[in-house]
Each structure stands twice: as structure tokens, then as C-alpha cells.
Structure 1
Amino acid sequence: MLHTVLRRRAAGESVEQIRPDLIIPTGKRKGQNPGLASIYRALAEHGKAQAYPEAVETAHADFAALKQRDRARK
């Protein structure tokens, strides 16, 4: 869904215009439209990931190390 929003926003559409065309594929809200706040949150996270790719990589590596350590304890 994020790629659709990014592509359509680049074409000049607003989030409010895009939202009715988005459908949640899984989960308890399957088949419904996402909320505006959810879309804006996803856009903000994407913006942070684009602005700080090294921080995202580090966070992913730290998380993987924690998961591996937890598995080793079991």
C-alpha cells in the first residue's frame, strides 16, 4: 500500500483522495480502508528510513542480534 500512496502522491493526489482506493489485505480490519492517521504514520516512517538509512540498518542488526541471543538461551 505504501508504494501506491507514494506513487500517487508523486502524481499530485492527496492522501484523502487515495485512501478510498486502499484496502487492508489481512488482519481484523481485512477488506476495510486504512485510517488517515495510519497512512500518515507509514509515510512518516518511510521518510525517516529514507533520511537515516544507517540508523535503520543498525536498528535491524541490533534486533536480529537480540533475537539470536534469545534463541540461544532457550
Structure 2
Amino acid sequence: MAVPVITDDMLHTVLRRRAGGESVEQIQPNLIIPTGKRKGKNPSPASIYRALAEYEKAQVYPKAIEQAPTEFEVIQGDNVPSPRPSHPDRAPL
């Protein structure tokens, strides 16, 4: 699973500075990615906007966000489909 580029600390900084009237484009040069292959670089504005959107969604639908993994497991359960048998008249890919 990929590690998010925007950490919780970075998101907190973005939220605080946006509340002070700054734009994402003004904040972005001051953020530094702490780990991963882009360590030491700035996150893209798109990454910041995605993190803000996820944060907003979690604020609006907190219970749905919490329940989603559990509901997914229930839906999946033992109903994971097995591979379909191949047709003898079709060539394999």
C-alpha cells in the first residue's frame, strides 16, 4: 500500500494556513515530503487538494468512513469468486 505524500502534520499546517487566508499555491513551497522516493521535495498542489478533499469527506461522513472496511469484509466474506474454467475452443491469452 502506498504511503500518503501528505502527512497528518502537513495537513494540519495546510488547514491552519488556509484558515488564515493563504492559498494552496502559497503553502505548497513550504511543505517538504518526509519519506519515500520524493523525500525532501515539495508535494504537488494536486496532492494537497486530494488530501483536503479526503479530510473534508471524513468530516462530513465520519461513520461511513469508519464502517467501510468492516462492511467490505462482510460483503467479500466467503463469496470471493473462483477463477472461471477456460473454454477448450478458445486460445489462452
Detail structure 1 runs of 4+ shifted over 2 Å in the superposition.
Answer: 60-63
Identify the structure with the greater helix proportion. Answer: 1
CA distance in 1, matches of 2:60, 2:69: 16
Which one of 57, 71, 74 corresponds to residue 66 of structure 2? Answer: 57
Match of 2:17 among 8, 31, 48: 8
Q: TM-score, normalised by structure 2?
A: 0.65
Q: Between the two proteins, what is the percent identity of the paired residues?
A: 73
Aligned pair 1:41/2:50, yes or no?
yes
CA distance in 2, matches of 1:13, 1:52: 26
**Structure 1: where are the runs of 5+ without partners?**
70-74
- Aligned CA RMSD, in angstroms, stands at 1.7
Q: Structure 2: where are the runs of 5+ without partners?
A: 1-9, 78-93
CA shift, 1:62, in A, is 4.5
Which has the larger Rg? 2
* Aligned residue in 1 for 2:26: 17
